[in-house]
């Protein structure tokens, strides 16, 4: 439905893959105000559709591919799109975000979102050219790796500049952690590539020449300019991320004792310098690169097999480095490329392999995998993607493997989704985030509190104090940033530069010392966000929405949208049986101190969970109350 707000194209399309028919899905301005776009819009659509009886590999599992209203408006780092559906990895709601250009081109074709229902009767790919939705036979593409497939799509469409997403062999073979690739970027997590694979849909392309409307073009352009200058002057978004990427965190994590090592049995890797961001920058990085419209440009470009390709993120460096006891950086670059080509999540792949190595070491499962032994891994990756031999079992992920072979206490996942590279026993707020995150063990959806616990600010990383309330704030904030179509990294500039560049200054030390004691104040803002009916000078996002969309916005409304989204996702998950009992971490992280001489070095999860549920207004069992659901207009 057409919108009075700019930024939106005004159309959400329901694509029935079974009948190859397309109809418009009603979506109103009131819904745009309540849910903004992206993952929250997807959650609303899925909340209305899902009953709790659907399974991930079924025609009833709708896949929502949603853009944000800021995509295409020139807002910094705003070309992201979201894919949401039930995850085959976790069995609950999943959303996976991607920096590829598909979302931008989908809007240029005239659409804010696609909903895919049903299942193609044979291998198909979908070509969208503005009003045309053309289904094509995909037998020729089936089996192709992701870059080869995308090259072929360019040839088949006859276009140079267009949007595309596809799955690789892993998605076709229903690997539980298969991702979706667009350009060089991945909607990597939660196995949504396998959902497309089950639906027999190999790829989608989008092309169009429509204009993306902007409310006040002159002021929007001026605001973007100001914001980009701010980001480029900020020590994180203007220096560290462009110059070192996320890889720059490896050394810092080592010093903090939070670098996952040997399947999270430790937080420091002896050979960390071999796989560090410094070494990557000095010896391997060709240049940095950014997603469309991104001034931060955190991506690395490295050399693999004579080609310039995307380099690894921190998660991949940590999890295919110290976590499997590998110190060969070139191998990580090669594997990172290979896994993208196969269309497989590097985080879950690496974690599953680390679990299998430990299971083998402990005599639970004779699988030929050993810590530090890496020569066989390229074949293992390929065999997982094609479900050959013993790797058919590895394609199921660490949760299912540990249920079959034992070793649950060292299967490092939450709700079936493997954790990122941050070992949380020395950053306990991050541990809480992993456990309560709506999509399972995700560092970002969990609230990324580690940014307060050493990677940015330096509040007491072992105390549970204030962690629950801060986690809620960050989760809600990032929820809305994501829904608007922007990258979460734009939020890092929320921290004034001087707090980061003067870690030993009196003011910074005061902030760090005070942080554990401000839980009550944070809770007040969380509970009554509308009191913050202002634009914060260091948070450019809200003004951007007003100028580009013409939608009334302030910090309080922005936070409330985030709370609505996060709670609605939880509400959907409760339909599938999720409760406090599922908000957990493996015993290794909650019961075994990282430092045997310091009993504090484990995650005091139950204490923090209780406070977290109180902060959110959920009951003691982690279920959002009726009153809250009504207040947030979810029901």
Partner 1 sequence: MITVRFYGLLRLDSGMKEQQLEADTVKEVYAQLTQLGLSRKALYGCVILVNGKPAGKKQKLKNGDRVQLMSPVAGG
Cβ nearer to partner 1, comparing 413 with 458 = 458
Cβ nearer to partner 1, comparing 249 with 634 = 249
* Residue found under tokens 């330096």: 458
If we measure between CA atoms, which residue out of 213, 208, 162, 193 comes closest to residue 65? 193
**In angstroms, what is the minimal distance from the CB of 265 to partner 1?**
18
Stretch that binds partner 1, among 1-9, 27-35, 203-211, 447-455 (CB under 8 A): 447-455
Stretch that binds partner 1, among 168-176, 177-185, 449-457, 596-604 (CB under 8 A): 449-457
Query: Which of positions 288-317 make contact with partner 1 (CB under 8 A)?
Result: 298, 313-315
Q: Which of 35, 495, 539, 613 binds partner 1 (CB under 8 A)?
A: 495
Stretch that binds partner 1, among 453-461, 514-522, 557-565, 605-613 (CB under 8 A): 453-461
Cβ nearer to partner 1, comparing 232 with 252 = 252
**In angstroms, what is the minimal distance from the CB of 451 to partner 1?**
5
Q: Which of 139, 278, 283, 626 binds partner 1 (CB under 8 A)?
A: 278
DSSP alpha helices (H): ranges in 437-505? Answer: 467-484, 497-501
Rounded to 10°, the helix 519-527/467-484 angle is 40
| Distance from chain centroid for Cα 275 | 23
Cα of first residue to Cα of last residue in the chain, in angstroms, is: 22
Stretch that binds partner 1, among 12-20, 88-96, 250-258, 557-565 (CB under 8 A): 250-258
Task: Pull the structure tokens for residue 163.
Answer: 């949007």
Contacts 24+ apart (CB under 8 A), 135-140: 135/20, 138/200, 138/201, 138/202, 138/203
The answer to whether residues 602 and 590 touch, using CB atoms and an 8 Å cutoff, is yes
CA distance 72 to 90: 32
Cβ-Cβ contacts under 8 Å for 429 (sequence gap 6 or more): 447, 449, 450, 452, 453, 461, 464, 467, 470, 471, 608
**In angstroms, what is the minimal distance from the CB of 444 to partner 1?**
8
> Is residue 209 at the binding interface for partner 1, with CB under 8 A as the rule?
no
CA distance 508 to 47: 42
Query: Which of positions 379-438 make contact with partner 1 (CB under 8 A)?
Result: 420-422
- Give the burial string for 275-314 (b: 16+ CB within 10 Å, else e): bbbebbbeebbeebbbbbbbbbbbbbbbebeeeebbbbbb
Query: What's the DSSP call for residue 290?
Result: -
# residues near partner 1 by CB under 8 A? 40
> Is residue 512 at the binding interface for partner 1, with CB under 8 A as the rule?
no
Helix (H, G, I), strand (E, B) or coil at 206: strand
CA distance 329 to 575: 44
Q: Which of 248, 407, 433, 447 binds partner 1 (CB under 8 A)?
A: 248
CA distance 516 to 511: 9
> Is residue 164 at the binding interface for partner 1, with CB under 8 A as the rule?
no
> Is residue 255 at the binding interface for partner 1, with CB under 8 A as the rule?
yes
Q: Which of 501, 598, 621, 625 binds partner 1 (CB under 8 A)?
A: 501
Stretch that binds partner 1, among 92-100, 123-131, 365-373, 445-453 (CB under 8 A): 445-453
> Is residue 481 at the binding interface for partner 1, with CB under 8 A as the rule?
no
The answer to whether residues 307 and 334 touch, using CB atoms and an 8 Å cutoff, is no
Cβ nearer to partner 1, comparing 5 with 422 = 422
Cβ nearer to partner 1, comparing 318 with 617 = 318
If we measure between CA atoms, which residue out of 179, 143, 138 comes closest to residue 156? 138
Q: Which of 7, 91, 343, 456 binds partner 1 (CB under 8 A)?
A: 456
Q: By CB neighbour count within 10 A (0-12 exposed, 13-18 middle, 19+ buried), where does 26 fall?
A: exposed
> Is residue 492 at the binding interface for partner 1, with CB under 8 A as the rule?
yes
> Is residue 274 at the binding interface for partner 1, with CB under 8 A as the rule?
no
The answer to whether residues 512 and 459 touch, using CB atoms and an 8 Å cutoff, is yes
Q: How far is CA 21 from CA 126, 135, 230, in A?
A: 12, 10, 46
**In angstroms, what is the minimal distance from the CB of 234 to partner 1?**
10
> Is residue 30 at the binding interface for partner 1, with CB under 8 A as the rule?
no
Q: How far is CA 336 from CA 313, 339, 439, in A?
A: 9, 5, 23
Cβ nearer to partner 1, comparing 192 with 241 = 241
Query: Which of positions 60-79 make contact with partner 1 (CB under 8 A)?
Result: none
> Is residue 252 at the binding interface for partner 1, with CB under 8 A as the rule?
yes
> Is residue 112 at the binding interface for partner 1, with CB under 8 A as the rule?
no
Stretch that binds partner 1, among 115-123, 199-207, 452-460, 624-632 (CB under 8 A): 452-460
Q: Which of 246, 349, 402, 437 binds partner 1 (CB under 8 A)?
A: 246
Q: Which of 71, 73, 240, 484 binds partner 1 (CB under 8 A)?
A: 240
**In angstroms, what is the minimal distance from the CB of 72 to partner 1?**
24
CA distance 513 to 466: 12
Residue ranges binding partner 1 (CB under 8 A): 235-236, 239-241, 243-244, 246, 248-249, 251-252, 255, 276-278, 281-282, 298, 313-315, 420-422, 443, 448, 450-451, 455-456, 458, 489, 492, 495, 500-504
């Amino acid at each position: 439905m057409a919108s009075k707000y700019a930024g939106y194209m005004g159309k959400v399309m329901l694509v029935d893959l079974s009948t190859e028919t397309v109809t418009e899905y009603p979506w109103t301005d009131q819904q745009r105000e309540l849910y903004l776009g992206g993952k929250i819009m997807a959650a609303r659509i899925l909340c209305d559709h899902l009953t709790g009886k659907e399974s991930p590999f079924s025609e009833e599992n709708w896949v929502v591919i949603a853009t944000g209203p800021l995509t295409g408006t020139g807002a910094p780092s705003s070309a992201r799109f979201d894919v949401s559906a039930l995850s085959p990895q976790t069995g609950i709601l999943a959303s996976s975000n991607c920096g590829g250009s598909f979302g931008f081109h989908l809007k240029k074709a005239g659409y804010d979102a696609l909903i895919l229902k049903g299942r193609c009767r044979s291998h198909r790919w979908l070509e969208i050219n503005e009003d045309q939705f053309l289904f094509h036979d995909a037998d020729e593409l089936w089996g192709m790796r992701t870059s080869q497939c995308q090259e072929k799509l360019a040839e088949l469409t006859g276009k140079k500049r267009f949007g595309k997403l596809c799955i690789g062999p892993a998605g076709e073979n229903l690997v539980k952690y298969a991702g979706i690739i667009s350009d060089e970027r991945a909607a990597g997590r939660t196995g949504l590539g396998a959902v497309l694979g089950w639906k027999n849909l190999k790829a989608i392309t989008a092309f169009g020449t429509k204009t993306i409307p902007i409310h006040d073009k002159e002021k929007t352009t001026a605001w973007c300019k100001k914001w980009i200058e701010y980001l480029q002057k900020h020590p994180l978004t203007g220096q560290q991320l462009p110059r070192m990427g996320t890889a720059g965190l490896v050394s810092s994590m080592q010093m903090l004792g939070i670098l996952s090592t040997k399947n999270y049995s430790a937080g420091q890797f002896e050979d960390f310098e071999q796989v560090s961001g410094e070494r990557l920058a000095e010896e391997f990085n060709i240049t940095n690169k950014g997603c469309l419209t991104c001034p931060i440009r955190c991506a690395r470009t490295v050399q693999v097999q004579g080609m310039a390709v995307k380099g690894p993120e921190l998660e991949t460096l940590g999890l295919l480095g110290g976590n499997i006891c590998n110190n060969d950086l070139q191998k990580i670059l090669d594997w990172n490329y290979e896994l993208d080509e196969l269309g497989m999540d590097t985080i879950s792949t690496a974690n599953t392999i680390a679990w299998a190595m430990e299971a083998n070491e402990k005599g639970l499962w004779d699988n030929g995998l050993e810590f530090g032994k890496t020569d066989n891994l390229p074949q293992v990756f390929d065999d997982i993607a094609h479900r050959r031999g013993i790797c058919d079992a590895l394609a199921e992920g660490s949760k299912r493997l540990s249920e079959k072979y034992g070793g649950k206490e060292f299967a490092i996942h939450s709700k079936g989704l493997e954790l990122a590279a941050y070992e949380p026993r020395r950053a306990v707020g991050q541990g809480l985030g992993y456990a309560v995150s709506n999509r399972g063990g995700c560092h970002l959806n969990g609230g990324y509190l580690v940014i307060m616990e050493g990677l940015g600010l330096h509040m007491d990383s072992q105390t549970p104090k204030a962690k629950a309330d801060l986690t809620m704030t960050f989760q809600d904030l990032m929820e809305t940033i994501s829904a608007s179509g922007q990258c979460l990294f734009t939020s890092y500039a929320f921290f004034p530069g001087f707090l980061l560049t003067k870690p030993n200054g009196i003011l910074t030390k005061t902030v760090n010392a005070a942080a554990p004691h401000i839980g009550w104040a944070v809770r007040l803002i969380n509970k009554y966000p509308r009191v913050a009916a202002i634009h914060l000078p260091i948070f450019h996002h809200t003004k951007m929405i007003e100028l580009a969309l013409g939608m009334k916005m302030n910090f309080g409304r922005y936070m409330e949208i985030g709370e609505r989204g996060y709670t609605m996702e939880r509400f959907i998950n409760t339909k599938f049986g999720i409760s406090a009992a599922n908000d957990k971490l493996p015993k290794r992280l909650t019961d075994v101190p990282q430092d045997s001489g310091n009993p504090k070095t484990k995650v005091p999860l139950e204490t923090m969970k209780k406070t977290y549920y109180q902060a959110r207004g959920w009951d003691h069992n982690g279920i959002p109350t009726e009153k809250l659901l009504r207040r947030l207009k979810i029901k």
